[in-house]
Amino acid sequence: MPGIVIVGAQWGDEGKGKITDLLAEHADAVARFQGGNNAGHTIVRGGEEWKLHLIPSGILYPGKCCVIGNGVVIDPKVLIEELNALRARRIDVSGLRISANAHLIMPYHLLLDSAGEAKLGSLQIGTTRRGIGPCYADKAARLGIRVQDLLDEKILKKKIVAAMEPKRLSLRPFEKDPALDLHTMTEEYLTYGHRLEQHIADTAKLMWELLDDGKKVIFEGAQGAMLDIDHGTYPFVTSSNPLAGAACVGTGVGPKAIDEIWGISKAYTTRVGAGPFPSELHDEMGEMIRARGGEFGTTTGRPRRTGWLDLVALRYAARLNTMTSLVITKLDVLSGLDRIQVCTSYRGVEGPVFEDFPYHQTVLHHAEAELTELRGWEEDLGECRAISDLPDAAREYLEFIAEHAGAPVALIGVGPGREQVLWTDAGLQTLVAPSGVPLGDPAGG
């Protein structure tokens, strides 16, 4: 710290919410920098489960400064529902700050997301249908509506008209949809503005003040490296950059603010939605991982596709992020297997072997995983609280991952609970406060 970025190192759902919540205890602020409510971040504390979509995973600490940065796309209806649900569970949300420059998801974005998918037919991306792509498209086209526009009726109305004008043709099938009526939409969004006003702020300035003051800030990524619009498995990606580099632009701070970059990966691989997945399992083993890992989407409930850990993709994610440490979650899910396989390279159609992630879409779509077999272990890991509690084979597996990915392992997840996390020496060494006190709680408190 002061600036630590938490990013997904796979195709999302790696456990970013859990790790952010864990580290947030000792941080002064947590900031989201991209994505929107396509994200679903789970935190389990004392047997209670929390699912967050837009609000940073630091919100469970009373009054903690939680920033929704300018790079996030916000569906204000969803945000208000999320705030209300937290308040109903007696969570103090007074620390939430929303960037006035963040873009808003509008009713037409939701309709266009679904219509776009329907049009693609069998070539669907499998989006979360939350309007993410169309909203980022409007941002790039400079037709976006921003949080600050919610506070001025005249400007809001004018911008809605301007944004809808070039979409007339594609919105024609929804002509009669009351959600698209200009008056209704303006009134609805003005109401959202009133409800959110107390949280709207110049968050880039706030971030600068925090960091300048030596405060510790966690940048919480959504999605994962392989869903990155530039470097992921395009076009089967999301519409933002879930990489560490985006933490800066998405909150308005310079790269020097970042000290640590932690990539989160499961001990195996999952993916929701369509697109290439070389190490995917289509057999009973895949089913078993899905069932044991509870691999169903936090946002859409869709079953996640499952496969062995893909070290080609993980090494790529480590490089794209200049990852300083790795966090391996869900190691417990692999207990009880005789042998564990890992993907260490890809085989192309005509035989070439790829150690590095191929940039060419056609190559990637035909790539097959070359697997290396490692020893499995029988023991249940849920009660392990130190690295020394792990079976030898589990430790060997972690060492193999670190060596192939090119980053040391800092934390290991052995269950969904916040106490089910093991700190390695590397992890403890990186996150040490000036006082010499570890910033995590290695005792598992």
Residues that bind ligand IMO (CB under 6 A): 8, 11-13, 38-41, 125-128, 130, 132-133, 222-224, 227, 238-239, 272-273, 298
| Distance in angstroms (rounded) separating the CA atoms of residues 255 and 247 | 9
Closer residue to ligand IMO, CB minimum distance, 23 or 384: 23
The angle subtended at Cα 369 by Cα 366 and Cα 371, nearest 5°, is 165
Q: Which entry of 21, 26, 28, 41 is annotated as an active-site residue?
A: 41
Sheet holding 96-99, edge to edge: 200-201, 96-99, 65-68, 29-32, 217-220, 3-8, 260-266, 325-329, 409-413, 421-423
Smallest distance, ligand GDP to C-beta of residue 416, A: 3
Residues in contact with 194: Cβ distance below 8 Å, sequence separation at least 6, in sequence order: none
Task: Choose the contact partner of 76 out of ligand GDP, ligand IMO, Mg ion, none; CB within 5 to 8 A by kind.
Answer: none
Smallest distance, ligand GDP to C-beta of residue 12, A: 6
Which candidate, 27, 83, 25, places its Cα nearest to that of 52?
Answer: 83
Task: Choose the contact partner of 273 out of ligand IMO, ligand GDP, Mg ion, none; CB within 5 to 8 A by kind.
Answer: ligand IMO
By CB under 6 A, tell whether 40 contacts ligand GDP: yes
Residues 34-53, one symbol each (x = binds Mg ion by CB under 5 A, - = not), give: ------x-------------
Task: Choose the contact partner of 286 out of ligand IMO, ligand GDP, Mg ion, none; CB within 5 to 8 A by kind.
Answer: none
Q: Which one of 333, 390, 407, 411 is in contact with ligand GDP (CB under 6 A)?
A: 333
Structure tokens at 12: 């999302």
| Distance in angstroms (rounded) separating the CA atoms of residues 53 and 102 | 15
Structure tokens at 24: 């947030």
Closer residue to ligand IMO, CB minimum distance, 35 or 358: 35
Task: Choose the contact partner of 276 out of ligand GDP, ligand IMO, Mg ion, none; CB within 5 to 8 A by kind.
Answer: none
Smallest distance, Mg ion to C-beta of residue 41, A: 6
Task: Choose the contact partner of 330 out of Mg ion, ligand IMO, ligand GDP, none; CB within 5 to 8 A by kind.
Answer: ligand GDP
By CB under 6 A, tell whether 17 contacts ligand GDP: yes
Is 181 a known active-site residue? no
Tell me the HSE value of 107 on the side-chain side, using a 13 A CA sphere: 17
Smallest distance, ligand IMO to C-beta of residue 112, A: 11
Smallest distance, ligand GDP to C-beta of residue 316, A: 18
Residues in contact with 182: Cβ distance below 8 Å, sequence separation at least 6, in sequence order: 157, 160, 161, 164
Strands (E) in 110-248, as ranges, are: 200-201, 217-220
Task: Choose the contact partner of 332 out of ligand GDP, ligand IMO, Mg ion, none; CB within 5 to 8 A by kind.
Answer: ligand GDP
Residues 292-311, one symbol each (x = binds ligand GDP by CB under 6 A, - = not), give: --x---x-------------
Closer residue to ligand IMO, CB minimum distance, 102 or 125: 125
Q: Which entry of 13, 138, 228, 310 is annotated as an active-site residue?
A: 13
| Distance in angstroms (rounded) separating the CA atoms of residues 37 and 235 | 20
C-alpha radius of gyration, the chain, whole number: 22
Smallest distance, ligand GDP to C-beta of residue 10, A: 9
Residues 281-300, one symbol each (x = binds Mg ion by CB under 5 A, - = not), give: -----------------x--
Cis geometry, peptide bond prior to residue 2 (ω within 30 degrees of 0): yes
Task: Choose the contact partner of 125 out of ligand IMO, Mg ion, ligand GDP, none; CB within 5 to 8 A by kind.
Answer: ligand IMO
Closer residue to Mg ion, CB minimum distance, 13 or 82: 13
How far the first Cα of the chain sits from its last, in Å, is: 20
| Distance in angstroms (rounded) separating the CA atoms of residues 257 and 64 | 20
Residues 385-424 that bind ligand GDP (CB under 6 A): 413-416, 420
By CB under 5 A, tell whether 13 contacts Mg ion: yes
Helix 153-164 and helix 182-196, axial crossing angle in degrees, nearest 10: 130
| Distance in angstroms (rounded) separating the CA atoms of residues 31 and 249 | 12
Closer residue to ligand GDP, CB minimum distance, 185 or 225: 225
Do the Cβ atoms of 328 and 412 come closer than 8 Å? yes
Do the Cβ atoms of 265 and 325 come closer than 8 Å? no
Closer residue to Mg ion, CB minimum distance, 55 or 439: 55
Smallest distance, ligand GDP to C-beta of residue 13, A: 4
By CB under 6 A, tell whether 44 contacts ligand GDP: yes
| Distance in angstroms (rounded) separating the CA atoms of residues 419 and 134 | 39
Structure tokens at 136: 């980022």
Is 13 a known active-site residue? yes
Do the Cβ atoms of 70 and 204 come closer than 8 Å? yes
The H or E element containing residue 82 is helix 76-88
Closer residue to ligand IMO, CB minimum distance, 43 or 394: 43
Catalytic residue annotation: 13, 41
